């Protein structure tokens, strides 16, 4: 480990909070969240999701924060410092997940860039369905994957203060402002009442009837949206220079992430309802096709589409840089690699790993389900066992720094981590493995057969 290199830190507290919010707010909030709400029965899902955010997401994000701040290290170094040599493999898993997730996240984010351009040129208005087919695979997809990756490499190569911190200070406020403006406009669209009631009034009979699918979906979404389970929050909190109140920071980050997801729903649903598009149409491409169709139909649709996809692209960049930083912090801390060279090399590797995803949409599912549903949950589970059960005293001690006397709050937190968080992760992992095996046996085999 190269102890002699002066480790970077955030210049300001708000820089750290915005970077974490920037990581949390991404494709998950704008793309995954509204459509999960759609697929899982509207407001009923929303209610369960909010409960998960508070009782599972908040304790879990604090686990990553205490690990990062206590050790001032990347996930591999951090887990080794806390748990001993054998725990470094869990840190290694985090780095690996970061690598895999960014390789396909960048392909999907490339579609978003393409739709931003498409809104400016009106490219998708003629046939939104055919348009998605053309741009989502093949050379088009690969080129935009390359452009997106180059943007991410450029920001991360500049470092914590000059790259990531400045970028998020510009991007996060811009995302909020754009979505607010779009939500106000969406409010003026026809059938906004229908959209709001679908989105905001829970039907409890739906929860009772479909809890088996609502619960894991809500838990998975809570982890994914808060960027948990892959060391992002460990890495970002390791650049903190002082002992601040982590509870307040976590509250602010979670509040902003949830607020932005809710806001995205207030934009997306009125637009879909106004254009008469079914909000429950599933699949990774459905969002793009149905939104593009809606933007083609409603007044000022293309201007709206441009602003929407632009906000969406900013959100994707601010998440992608956090994934890249996990890998880079590992290379810098553990192997003394130069930041600029390391970032370029890692970006090139991710670019290659992402290329198969541009061949067919089935590959998106192959990567996404494995990384985001199986590996990420496995990573979070390992961390919860280490911090909640094996190193709880140190964890409570670390949380108390910057807060003072925790009283019973520390105990409540650890028990939330030890039982509810752990149970949710174990159940989610079991379900995710089953559904991944199912996917491999059916859809993926058929895909291979067609090649």
Helix axes 286-297, 301-335, angle to 10 degrees: 150
- Interface with ligand PFF by CB under 6 A: which range of 24-32, 38-46, 109-117, 298-306? 24-32
**Mind giving me the DSSP string for 9-21?**
--SSHHHHHHHHH
Buried b (16+ CB within 10 A) or exposed e, 98-109: bbbbbbbbbbbb
CA distance 16 to 408: 27
Cα–Cα distance list, 369 to 97, 160, 169, 429, 434 (Å): 12, 30, 31, 11, 11
- Interface with ligand PFF by CB under 6 A: which range of 18-26, 66-74, 177-185, 395-403? 18-26
Least gap, CB of 372 to ligand PFF (angstroms): 7
- Interface with ligand PFF by CB under 6 A: which range of 22-30, 79-87, 234-242, 350-358? 22-30
Whichever of 254 and 275 has its CB closer to ligand PFF, that residue is 254
Assess 319 for contact with ligand PFF (CB under 6 A): yes
Least gap, CB of 325 to ligand PFF (angstroms): 10
Residues 6+ apart with CB under 8 A from 194: 273
**Mind giving me the DSSP string for 71-97?**
HTS-HHHHHHHHH-GGGHHHHHHHHHH
Whichever of 24 and 61 has its CB closer to ligand PFF, that residue is 24
CA distance 299 to 318: 30
- 63 membership: H or E segment, kind and range: helix 58-71
CA distance 123 to 144: 15
> In this chain, which residue has its C-beta nearest to ligand PFF?
28
Q: Where are the alpha helices (DSSP H) in 355-421?
A: 361-368, 376-384, 392-400, 408-416
- CB of 179 within 8 A of CB of 263? yes
Judged by CB under 6 A, the number of residues near ligand PFF is: 14
Q: Where are the alpha helices (DSSP H) in 188-238?
A: 192-200, 204-225, 232-238
Least gap, CB of 323 to ligand PFF (angstroms): 5
The 176-215 site mask, x for binding ligand PFF (CB under 6 A), equals ----------------------------------------
Residues 6+ apart with CB under 8 A from 188: none
Least gap, CB of 368 to ligand PFF (angstroms): 11
CA distance 6 to 237: 16
- Interface with ligand PFF by CB under 6 A: which range of 221-229, 301-309, 356-364, 438-446? 221-229
Assess 227 for contact with ligand PFF (CB under 6 A): yes
CA 242, 246, 249, 250 dihedral sign is positive
The one among 10, 17, 22, 28 contacting ligand PFF by CB under 6 A: 28
CA distance 362 to 446: 10
The one among 152, 253, 323, 331 contacting ligand PFF by CB under 6 A: 323
Whichever of 29 and 343 has its CB closer to ligand PFF, that residue is 29
Assess 23 for contact with ligand PFF (CB under 6 A): yes
The one among 24, 109, 240, 421 contacting ligand PFF by CB under 6 A: 24
Whichever of 29 and 125 has its CB closer to ligand PFF, that residue is 29
CA distance 319 to 102: 9
The one among 29, 137, 392, 428 contacting ligand PFF by CB under 6 A: 29
The one among 61, 232, 304, 350 contacting ligand PFF by CB under 6 A: 232
Assess 258 for contact with ligand PFF (CB under 6 A): no
Least gap, CB of 256 to ligand PFF (angstroms): 12
CA end-to-end span of the chain:
46
Whichever of 293 and 311 has its CB closer to ligand PFF, that residue is 311
> Quick count: other Cβ atoms within 10 Å of Cβ 291?
28
Least gap, CB of 22 to ligand PFF (angstroms): 9
The one among 182, 230, 266, 286 contacting ligand PFF by CB under 6 A: 230
Least gap, CB of 61 to ligand PFF (angstroms): 11
Assess 27 for contact with ligand PFF (CB under 6 A): yes
- Interface with ligand PFF by CB under 6 A: which range of 109-117, 226-234, 277-285, 287-295? 226-234
Where do contacts with ligand PFF occur on this chain (CB under 6 A)? 23-24, 26-29, 224-225, 227, 230, 232, 319, 322-323
């Amino acid at each position: 480990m190269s102890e002699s290199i002066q480790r970077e830190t955030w210049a300001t507290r708000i820089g750290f909070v915005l970077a974490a919010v920037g990581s949390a707010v991404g494709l998950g909030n704008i793309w995954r969240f509204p459509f999960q709400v759609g697929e899982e029965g509207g407001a009923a899902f929303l209610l369960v999701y909010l409960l998960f955010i508070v009782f599972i997401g908040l304790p879990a994000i604090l686990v990553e924060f205490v690990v990062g701040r206590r050790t001032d290290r990347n996930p591999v170094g951090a887990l080794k410092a806390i748990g001993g040599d054998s725990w470094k493999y869990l840190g290694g898993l985090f780095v690996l997940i970061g690598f895999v997730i960014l390789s396909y996240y960048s392909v999907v984010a490339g579609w978003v860039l393409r739709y931003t351009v498409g809104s400016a040129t009106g490219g998708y208005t003629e046939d939104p369905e055919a348009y998605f087919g053309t741009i989502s695979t093949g050379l088009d997809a690969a080129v935009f994957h390359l452009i997106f990756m180059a943007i991410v490499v450029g920001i991360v190569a500049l470092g914590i203060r000059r790259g990531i911190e400045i970028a998020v200070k510009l991007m996060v406020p811009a995302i909020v402002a754009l979505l607010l403006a779009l939500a106000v406009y969406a409010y003026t669209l026809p059938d906004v009442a229908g959209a709001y009631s679908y989105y905001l009034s829970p039907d409890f009979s739906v929860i009772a009837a479909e809890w088996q699918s609502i619960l894991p979906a809500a838990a998975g979404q809570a982890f994914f949206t808060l960027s948990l389970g892959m060391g992002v929050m460990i890495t970002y909190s390791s650049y903190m220079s002082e002992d601040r109140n982590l509870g307040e920071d976590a509250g602010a980050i979670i509040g902003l992430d949830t607020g932005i997801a809710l806001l995205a729903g207030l934009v997306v649903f009125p637009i879909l309802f106004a254009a008469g598009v079914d909000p429950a149409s599933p699949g990774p491409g459905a969002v793009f096709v149905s939104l593009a169709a809606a933007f083609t139909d409603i007044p000022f649709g293309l201007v709206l589409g441009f602003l929407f996809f632009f906000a969406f692209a900013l959100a994707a960049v601010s998440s992608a840089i956090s994934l890249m930083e996990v890998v880079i912090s590992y290379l810098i801390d553990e192997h003394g690699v130069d930041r600029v060279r390391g970032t370029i090399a890692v970006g090139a590797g991710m670019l290659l790993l992402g290329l198969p995803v541009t061949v067919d949409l089935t590959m998106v599912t192959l990567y996404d389900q494995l990384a985001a549903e199986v590996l990420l949950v496995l990573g979070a589970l390992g961390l919860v066992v280490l911090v909640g059960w094996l190193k709880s005293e140190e964890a409570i001690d670390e949380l108390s720094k910057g807060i003072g006397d925790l009283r019973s709050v520390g105990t409540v937190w650890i028990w939330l981590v030890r039982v509810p968080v752990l149970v949710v992760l174990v159940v989610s992992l079991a379900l995710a493995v089953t559904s991944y095996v199912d996917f491999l046996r059916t859809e993926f085999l058929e895909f291979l057969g067609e090649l």
